[in-house]
Structure 1
Amino acid sequence: MSGREFFTTRTVAEALAGFRPARRTALEDVPLAEALHRVPAADVAAAAALPGFARSTVDGFAVRAADTYGASEGLPSYLDLVGAVRMGMAPTVAVRPGGCVAMPTGGVLPDGADAVVMVEHTAETMPGTIEVTRPVAPLDGIVRADEDVAAGAPLVPGGRPLRSPDLGLLAAAGVTTVRVHARPRVAIISTGDEVVPPSTAQLRPGQVRDATASALAGLVRDAGGEPVLAGIVPDDAGALEATLRDTLREADLVVVSAGSSVGARDETAGAVAALGEIWCHGLAIKPGKPTLLAECKAECGSGVPLIGLPGNPLSALVVFRLVGVPLVWRLAGCPVPPPEPSTPARLSRDLPSAAGRLDVVQVAVQDGTATPIFGPSALLSVLTRADGCLVVPEAATGLAAGSPVQVTLYR
């Protein structure tokens, strides 16, 4: 580096598409009860078909569909009731032509039946005789033995975080442990002579408590990672390089908070360059331009990605949400991160922007209207007052009041 210019500046889209380190976390087996939001290493296949037997989806009567054709309230079909199916037990009777069997929801379909007529469309006109007032087609009111999942088919896909219904399907298939990627260990290093721990009771003039590290740790947890607070390093190249060397031994991703702005006291780029290759130093984004992306060497042989964030808390969190969170998911074996909740809205006022950069604007949302929240990037309260953010694309020169926007909501 020389002077105060950014080098290797990239767009956010280029960063997301091009900065794709090969590192992945190790694999481990976890109990199903602990598998929510974990990322399976590969597809989990069904050992047998589910539900495993044809069963009723309604309370009613198992029938041969052909015996109900033409049935109506004015001209019902009459069927002989030959028995009943009990829950959790195999049928002891079969359905013969002109007959039917009483069925509970979830009961095993007896031999000879190909449909279940709902009880609401029947009446018992006399003991042992059922009146059917609506016809059914084959497979009405039932699920096939393999309709949920066929034997050998994937229960859940690899590379996608497990959701609550996934856990239910795995449980139904008898899967009690899942092989998943370990949670990425994300080391968070804060830098700056002025930065002190949050526990500091009395600040001296010029000192600031380290707020960014705690907020970054929350974003890491949301992305399924394990944050490791690696402490505060003064503005000293040797101290930072030594801390980075120690941290790289155990981390899957290193995040350096502050020190990435190009300036007289910027030591981050030099320390990182001594340990690996800088992919870019500068993103076409506001806030957050002075962002550094790199891949550092590690003793294990697999490169460790590193993100150097701007010093201002708001800028650091905006960039990490856009670039760092997808990287955490990728390290955990999930190439496409889960979508964040969003809502459509209309912009309350004109929003200026400069072409050639991505503008991330914090907004409050009420009654379908998105109102921008402005403030210096050093103020965390801008984020805490926001319901979410919207993005003004690089090509735009601003958005007019009333423009439709999509707001990414904060959880």
Structure 2
Amino acid sequence: MSDLTIRPGREFFTARTVSDALAGFRPTRRTTIESVPLAAALHRVPAADVLAPEALPGFPRSTVDGYAVRAADTYGASEGLPTYLDLAGAVRMGAAPTVTVPPGGCVAVPTGAVLPEGADAVVMVEYTAATMPGSIEVTRPVAPGAGLVRADEDVASGATLITAGRPLRSAELGLLAAAGVGAVDVHARPRVAIISTGDEVVPSATPVLAAGQVRDATASALAGLVTEAGGEPVVVGIVPDDRVALERVLRDALGSASIGADLVVVSAGSSVGARDETAGAVAALGTIWCHGLALKPGKPTLLAECGGVPLIGLPGNPLSALVVFRLVGAPLVWRLGGCAAPPPEPTTRARLSRDLASAAGRVDIVQVRVRGEVAEPLFGPSALLSVLTRADGYVVVPEPATGLDADSEVEVVLYR
């Protein structure tokens, strides 16, 4: 962390690149560890590797319906010159075999059944025929290992079932269940305190607005983004444009056991100006890492750490605030919750419908609507949330670029 500190009453605007922020602003705080049952473990982040207590599937089993054979007995078989094997019996699902495969013989097996002793392959039923009682005709040879899985082919005993730091998907839950693991130690969901500021901001449930008032839309949207990033939003409420009041609420959010914030997000009040009280209040409580990102929209962003708790000061305009939080805040929430790397967002390739102008030295985030293979840029003031609601995703114009040409192929990051 940088030792840059903003003194109360003194304005700084130390802009950093987005890549610098993602690489350099990395608080060490991590959430506590708790044990949860598999039914509640989807998307949770394991705190440690989980090792397989036993091999999986645990026994050699057939992967097809057919006949367990000694592979060498099928060599040379063809439709014109089939091989004939004696049927020694059958294996029932869910039961141990009571018969072995002798030389020149075979045993009927369904998919998933235990492979009987003596067999080293399974011939699919499609390549066999029952021509006479007690005998099977084989019309295609098989190699050893065909049509079966070994006892430890899925997972060897003691091997890593799941890796720490990677959010659990449904497939991992299935693998844990197959291994008999009923609960897993995971990081607690990061608690994110969301504080809205502004004399003009009123609760979203306000039925009738007075002149100049706006409902607090950003807090609800931020709560959704926090949840998507594996966190637990705690909406603290609205604070007027008063430094003393904001500092008091920040102290409470940082130190209150009832809130227990792992991250504090201040919505609005981060723009440099006469009414900007956020920087002064934050500087009184901790260290500001930067005040300003080379980003459009979202330049007036504040990143800080207060008593070991990271804090993000977002721009006042809703669209800007949500763009910044998606780029910088969401990865931080994942990291606080023990995630080694945020899960990748879905993307698609498309062609731009028009030119995009930009300025070198900053990242531009452009909202787009995708129609077939075409990405249509959407423009509007950063105070308008409808630009986001109409968008299917966004395009990143990188720092070195001065724009993108129409018909350029771009990667569109899609909203889930």
TM-score by length of 2: 0.96
Contact 1:4/1:263 (CA < 8 Å) preserved in 2? Answer: no
The Cα of 1:335 is off from its aligned counterpart by 2.1
| Structure 1: runs of 5 or more not aligned | 298-302
Which amino acid in the other structure matches residue 29 of structure 1? S
1:273 aligns with 2:302: no
Give the distance between the partners of 1:53 and 1:126, measured in 2 at CA.
Answer: 32
Retained in 1: the 8 A contact 2:13–2:272?
no
Q: CA deviation at 1:5?
A: 6.5
2:244 aligned partner, one-letter code: G
State the one-letter code of the partner of 1:34.
A
* Matches of 2:265 and 2:161, distance apart in 1: 36
CA distance in 1, matches of 2:12, 2:126: 73
Of 96, 99, 104 in structure 1, the residue corresponding to residue 105 of structure 2 is 99
Q: Does 1:252 align with 2:262?
A: yes
- State the distance in 2 between where 1:153 and 1:275 align: 46
- CA deviation after TM superposition for structure 1 residue 4, in Å: 9.3
Q: How many residues were matched structurally?
A: 406
Which secondary structure state, in structure 1, belongs to the residue aligned with residue 161 of structure 2?
A: strand
> CA offsets per residue over residues 211-240 of structure 1, 9 Å max, x none?
000000000000110000000000111111
The one-letter amino acid of 2:57's match is P
Letter in 1 for 2:29: R
Q: Provide the C-alpha distance between the structure 2 equivalents of 1:69 and 1:304, rounded to a whole number of angstroms.
A: 69
Task: State the match for 1:300 in structure 2.
Answer: none
Q: 1:42 aligns with which of 34, 48, 55?
A: 48
Residues 269-318 of structure 1, C-alpha deviations (whole Å, 9 max, x = no match)? 11111111100000000000000000101xxxxx0000000000000000
For 2:75, which of 57, 69, 75 is the aligned residue? 69
In structure 2, distance between residues paired with 1:385 and 1:305: 32
**Whole-Å separation in 1 of the counterparts to 2:352 and 2:13:** 35
Matched, 1:341 2:346: yes
Quote the RMSD (CA, aligned, Å): 1.0
- In the TM superposition, residue 205 of structure 1 has moved relative to its aligned partner by 0.8
Which of 363, 370, 373 pairs up with 2:378? Answer: 373
- Correspondence for 1:169 among 168, 175, 191: 175
Q: Are the equivalent residues in 2 in contact too, given 1:39–1:159 (CA < 8 A)? A: yes
Among 292, 297, 305, the alignment partner of 2:302 is 292
CA distance in 1, matches of 2:36, 2:207: 41
2:320 aligns with 315
2:391 is matched with which residue? 386
Which ranges in structure 2 are unaligned for 5 or more consecutive residues?
Answer: 1-5
1:6 Cα shift? 4.9
Q: Does residue 310 of structure 2 align to residue 305 of structure 1?
A: yes
Q: CA deviation at 1:7?
A: 2.5
The question of whether the paired residues in 2 share the 8 Å contact of 1:392 and 1:399 is answered with yes
After superposing on structure 2, the runs of 4+ consecutive aligned residues of structure 1 that deviate more than 4 Å are 1-6
Alignment equivalent of 1:87, drawn from 93, 106, 111 = 93
Decide which of 365, 374, 399 is 1:360's aligned counterpart: 365
1:102-137 Cα distance to aligned partner (Å, 9 max, x none): 000000000010000000000011000001000000
From 177, 198, 203, the equivalent of 1:192 is 198
- Aligned partners of 1:6 and 1:290 also within 8 Å: no
Q: State the 1:8 CA deviation.
A: 2.3
User: 1:28 maps to which residue?
Assistant: 34
What do residues 332-376 of structure 1 show as CA deviations (whole Å, max 9, x unaligned)? 100210011111000000000000000000000001100000000
Distance 1:72 1:4 in 2: 88
The answer to whether residue 274 in structure 2 is matched with residue 264 in structure 1 is yes
